[in-house]
Amino acid sequence: MDIFEAIQKRYSVREYLEDPVPEDKLMRVMEAARLAPSAGNAQEWRFVIVTDPEKRQALSEAANGQAFVAQAPAVIVACADTDERLMACGQLAYTIDVAIALEHIALQATAEGLGTCWIGSFSEDEARKIIGAPAGTRIVQLMTLGYPSSAPPPKKRKDISEILMFEQWGETSPA
């Protein structure tokens, strides 16, 4: 599968089969994260893969009761061991860097026949306790991982003309 096909096929999976993720696929998915770029090559991301059913259930509860979090055979807890450095543009580097790594995970997972879902609705403190992360570690996102139990729904996306401008704000055609 080429990268554009993976982009087209990726979707937020909220129903998973019980089948575990094979270790070789899991390691390729995580290698994709390791290869992601980061600001200043700091690589502040850290990942905890949770497959234990009790811990997945606890993460589901920490994710405001989203049941599919516990249903997924694996949950990736995306963390940052960070000094909270700001980039010159004023954005926190670790939040963007972790997001880039997670999207590498999502695309590689798609190429492996797996599905993912970004989880941003959760208690950081509860997730930290569940995985035993140190107090200074930021828990940025959770991501479910496993085999989807059904076909993807059609994607609803804005037309390119609604999101693309050229040279300056409001200019919708190339010069």
The three-state secondary structure class of 85 is: coil
pLDDT above 80: residue 175: no
Sequence spans of domains, the chain: 3-163
Task: Calculate mean pLDDT across residues 17-44.
Answer: 97
pLDDT above 80: residue 63: yes
| CB contact at 8 A, 140 and 79 | yes
| Alpha carbon distances (Å) from 13 to 78, 89, 123, 126 | 18, 33, 21, 23
* % of the chain surpassing 70 pLDDT: 100
Token pair listed for 89: 């543009």
Read off the pTM.
Answer: 0.95
Task: Calculate mean pLDDT across residues 66-82.
Answer: 98
Closest CA to 72 of 11, 140, 17: 17
Q: What is the pLDDT of residue 153?
A: 87
Task: Calculate mean pLDDT across residues 3-25.
Answer: 96
**Exposure of 131 in the CB half-sphere (CA atoms within 13 A):** 27
- Whether the CA torsion 3, 76, 39, 160 is positive or negative: it is positive
For residue range 97-123, what is the model confidence (pLDDT) as tens digits?
999 999 999 999 999 999 999 999 999
Q: What CATH number is given for 3-163 in this structure?
A: 3.40.109.10
Distance separating alpha carbons of residues 68 and 66, to the nearest angstrom? 6
Closest CA to 145 of 6, 3, 22: 22
For residue range 119-155, what is the model confidence (pLDDT) as tens digits?
999 999 999 999 999 999 999 999 999 999 998 888 9
Q: What is the pLDDT of residue 83?
A: 92
Terminal Cα distance for the chain, rounded: 35
Strands 74-80 and 138-146, sheet pairing: antiparallel
